[in-house]
Every structure is written in C-alpha cells, then in structure tokens.
Chains A and B, each alone.
Chain A
C-alpha cells in the first residue's frame, strides 16, 4: 500500500514491575540468583513457583495493538493513565523495543515525547538550540537556517546568550517548544507536550500543531486535552489497559472514552482502594445526581432542576477547604467549575471545617443545560495549599431535551446551555 505511513501489527510490550519499583538491580542480587538458579533446577516444584513468580512480576503495558495510519492523517490517541499511550509512542519513536509484534514506519520520524530533551542549564539559549536540535535529529545546516525563526517563536531574543538556568520556567518552555516546533519530519509523534505552560503559550503551541497538521504531514497525537484532540484530529484510537478498544471518528471516540467504565446509575461510590492515601483527612464517599423529585437518576430533564450531592467525611479539621465540581460535555467542552464555598458568607462560616460527615449540594436551575451527556469531576482542595482529592471523571449523566425551548425544530442545538430566554418581538 503506497499511502501507508505507519503500520502496527500485534504490538505488545511487557515490563518487569520490579524494575520500576527498585529502579535497578545490584550486582549482589544477580550473583545470588546465579548461584541459586542451578540449585533450583533440581526441584520441579520450585521451578514451577519461580516461573509463576516471574510472570506475576511482569505486566503488559501494551497487548496486541494493531492499527495503521495513512499518509497525511492526524490520528489521536487517548486513554487513561497507564493505558499504554506513552509506551506506544516510545516504541514508535524507537526509544524502546516491542516485546512482540512489529511496527513499520514509512518515512522520517520525529518524536516529541518531551520538550527540551537534553537542555543543559549551564548552556545559553543559543547553545541549547543547537544541542537540542541535534538531539531531535536535525542537521546542523537545518538548525542554522531556522535559527532566527526559532528564536522569534520563543520570544526570548534578549536572553538568547544567557544560560537557561536563569530563565523563568515559562521562557524555558517557550524556547524548548520553539525548537521542537521547527522539526520537519514526514511523520511526527507527539506526546502530552501541550499540557505545559500558561494559557497563552498553549494557544500558540496548539496553533503551531494545527499548522503542522494542515501541511499534510502524518501526526500521531497523544493528549489528555480533549478539546485539543477534537480540534486537531479527525480520527482517534482509544487505549485501555494496554489494549486498543476503539478506533472511530474523534467525536465518537472522545464520547466513548469519557463515558466508558461508568455504570449508568446516577451515583458514584468510591471504594477504599480508589482513594489515594494523600487524600486524608478528606475521604470522598459518594456523588449523586437527583431529579426534581429527589430520586437518584442518570437521566434528567432539561426543563427540571437538577441537584448534585457530594458526600464525604473529614477525619480531622480542615481550614479553607473547598469541595466542588467540574462539569464538561462528553465532547470535551468545559461547562463550568463551582465550589461549595464560592459564596463569601459560606466561605466565612466554613473557614475551618471540623472533622465529621458532610454533604455538599447544589441545584442547577431548570432550563440550564442543553441536551447531551455530561461528565462531573470532583475536586476537594485548599486553595494554593493542597489538593486533597481529584476525580476528573467521577460520574456521567444525560440531559433529555423534552419540553425544552425550540423543540419544534428537529435539529441539534450547538452549545452547552439551553436557556429559556424571554424573547420579545416587536412589530414596528
């Protein structure tokens, strides 16, 4: 097939868990194992248990992934942490070997698993551009040709001869991204590099990325930022626990990803093993969506009020605690963020919350949300001090538009809101 850029066939990668926990072996362990191994061979029972143990200490970060990417296609890759996204990109950018299967890449690959790889704090901006460019595989003449463009993009002209250790973190990132953005491979493999920096910088990076996409280059793009995925890609694959679970047009894949794994009951209960130890003294218990008649539901009507309750316990008093929600659509659009102590009076009254059992509750007014599916995320934190708990995809519910304004026209309405506005029509 002449128009194929990447072909991935049954690709798998196994990691030893021990490696990530202990990071490295000592010589003594290897010597001891070397002495023990031959002895062990005499006992079949031992050998069996050793084999089981070895299997248990390994995990498949990727298992039997098969897909292909056409030339000029921009393919998104999404999945939860640990789903295997980074492993996939590492294999495709030749950082690590697959354990099974193979991948075929047609053309020159450039990979951006990180910006600023190999940056040295003692070197100046100018020197780091040359070094980083070479590390990313650019030819010296190529770097020199693009040098001015890179500097202009980074907006650090007046500090270009200053060691980067004196840069602010924003300047550092801008310079690092600027070099990376001027890579011109036929196939670009990009990890979460846009998730850094301030909003202005992110906008700029995103703009550059969509330029790249429009130039007809093949891009494999991993991100947690659903709006970036939606904006840049047309098709997306979803990874879950090392397996490819879906390949679909991006909107459908994002919807699937955001809504997969939730029982559609209208209630989310956190079990002990889902709560990280750092959350203490905050312990989330449940999150519920209630309709106008106070029943727990997974489908609410747009024309009725919707109540959301977060139930939690505090094992010790917490000062300045705010418990709140994010609401976003399964298309990845942010609707709003709200906290229980947003109100100044409540903020004063609950300046310190004593240990105990709580419910924080709010009600959305009728005629507020448009039809569609919504994801509720939960956040419990003390501003600028500590984030106790976060679950960005705690619960999902559906809004039914029956009776909402404009239903006489059978068309989907764009937007998160579906307000009933007091229109007036005057004939003049």
Chain B
C-alpha cells in the first residue's frame, strides 16, 4: 500500500510491501493507472443516484431551482436584499450552481469511505479514487442545472419587458477556471472529511451542520459587496466566496472583477486540497483496519 515501490527489472514488475511510517508520497502514478476504475465509480454513482425515484434526474434541476424560488421570495422580494443590479433569481441561481457541487461533494465524499467499506477491506486500489469519483460525479448534476441557467439567461435577454440585459463579456472564458476552483475546494474538504470519518464517525453529524454554516458565510443569498471593504479579504478565506463571486462575474458580467478576493480563495483552496491529499495518504494505510 503506502510504501509500495514498483521497479522494473528485466520487464518484470516487483512489488515490495513493507510497513509504512509517517508521511508518504502521493503516488499519483498509481492513481493514473486506475483511471478506468475512477471512471466506473463515477458512472456507478450517476447511474445509481436517481434509481427508483419518480422524478429521476430532474432532481438535479429541481433542487437548485426550488431553492432559487424560495430565496427570491424571501430575500429578493420580502427582505429586499441587494443583488448587484442583477435580477435576484439569476443572481441566486448562479450562486447555487457551484454551491450544489460543493455540498454534494461535502456529504458524498465525506461519507464515501464508509459507504464503500466492503471494497476497501477486500480489494486494493488507490483509495483516493473513491472521494475523487464522489466529487467528480457531481459534475453531471452541475451540467444539468447549468442548462437551466442558460435558459434563464436567454429569458432575461430576450424579454423586452425587462430592462436588465445580460452582457456576455470575454470574462466568460474564465468560467472553466472557476469551475476548477470549485472542484479543488470540494476535493480538499471532501478528502479531509472522508479520511477523518474513517476514524471519527462524528463527521457524519458534523457534515449537515457544516453545510448549513458554510451557506451563511458564502455570498449566495446576498452579494459579497455587502461585506465591508476591510473585511473582504478575511471573507475570501472561504474559498467558496471566491468561487461564487467568480461565477457571477464570468457569467453575468457583474461590474467588479473579483481580483484579490479570488486570489485569496484560490490560495486557500489549493492549501486545502494539498493538505487534504497528504492527510488522506497518511491515514490511508489504516483504512482497511479501521473502517
């Protein structure tokens, strides 16, 4: 497992298994060898997710859409929350997209080592494949919900009764970067939670609480511009803040480019992922014994 070294000598693979101690290398080559397994795990996740549900994959759309409607009524109409000059439904739905990806990763990846216990105790494969597949399978839901966003943008653009016009700027080309940032954040948090969950089942109870708390500190129902200038960078320590602001800027052409904020968020996201990877690798060798 951990300290496994594979050497090639006269075209023969020699595998050495010995006790591993301390921090081990990430062994991403092994993960690459098992890329087909990651693909199959994602495929299984997607296939199984909406089996035996009456509405099937439309759940991927219903969840953010209904949340958007509720937010619009409560925060947009009743509380008169500012939305940077963007129609409130569009404003909140754009934030809910990466948010959905993130929360799904939090709960699915966080529990993934437990739900896949039978595999972990019976077969070798790079354990990283499991939380990675959990995070990536969220992309399918994301894509479905994204189609609705495109529909909403078209609706606001070609409805002459509305004075608002979405201006697609070259900023849209940066959207994939913000998506990658969302994935890095999700993977980072997912890795930490999944590895901790093997040893401490408290994580199962922390996940719903954490999700709720995190929603409050992420600019989904409200704009980040509401946060006083001097607290902005502190606020950006939540990488999802940078992600959501970035999504709005790239897609809706919100006026201000989220410069330093995104930089801070990206830095934190990368730190989360790298530490998550190493922590996961360190704990990996005890997974089969403790899970």
Contacts and interface: CB of A to CB of B under 8 A. Distances in A.
Interface of A: 15, 19, 24-28, 30, 90-109, 111, 113-114, 117-118, 120, 122-123, 127, 130-131, 134-137, 139-140
Interface string B1-20: 11110000000111111111
B200 interface: yes
A98 B15 CA distance: 14
Interface in B30-81: 34, 36-37, 39-40, 43-44, 47-48, 51-52
Interface in B166-215: 198-202
Given A105-B17, A106-B12, A135 B48 contact: no
B123 A19 contact: no
Interface stretch (B136-144, B224-232, B242-250, B283-291): B283-291
B275 interface: no
A96 B289 contact: yes
A118 B43 CA distance: 13
10 contacts: A93-B123, A95-B121, A98-B17, A102-B16, A102-B17, A103-B17, A122-B47, A122-B48, A122-B52, A136-B123
B118 interface: yes
Interface residues of B, number: 42
A140 B36 contact: yes
Given A106-B14, A123-B48, A139-B36, A113 B288 contact: no
Contacts of A108: 13
Contacts, number: 123
Contacts of B14: 104-106
Given A24-B200, A117-B119, A111 B124 contact: yes
B59 to A, nearest CB: 16
Given A90-B288, A95-B122, A120-B48, A107 B13 contact: yes
A96 B288 contact: yes
Contacts of A100: 19
A46 B243 CA distance: 52
A28 B16 CA distance: 37
B278 interface: no
A92 B15 CA distance: 10
B199 A131 contact: no
Given A26-B200, A99-B19, A94 B36 contact: no
A127 B40 CA distance: 10
Given A130-B40, A131-B40, A101 B288 contact: no
Contacts of B202: 26-28
B125 interface: yes
A107 to B, nearest CB: 6
A399 to B, nearest CB: 43
B44 to A, nearest CB: 6
B44 A103 contact: no
Given A97-B2, A135-B125, A91 B17 contact: yes
Contacts of A109: 15
B136 to A, nearest CB: 15
Contact of B47 (A27, A127, A140): A127
B94 to A, nearest CB: 33
Contact of B123 (A95, A101, A106): A95
Given A95-B124, A97-B285, A102-B16, A134 B1 contact: no
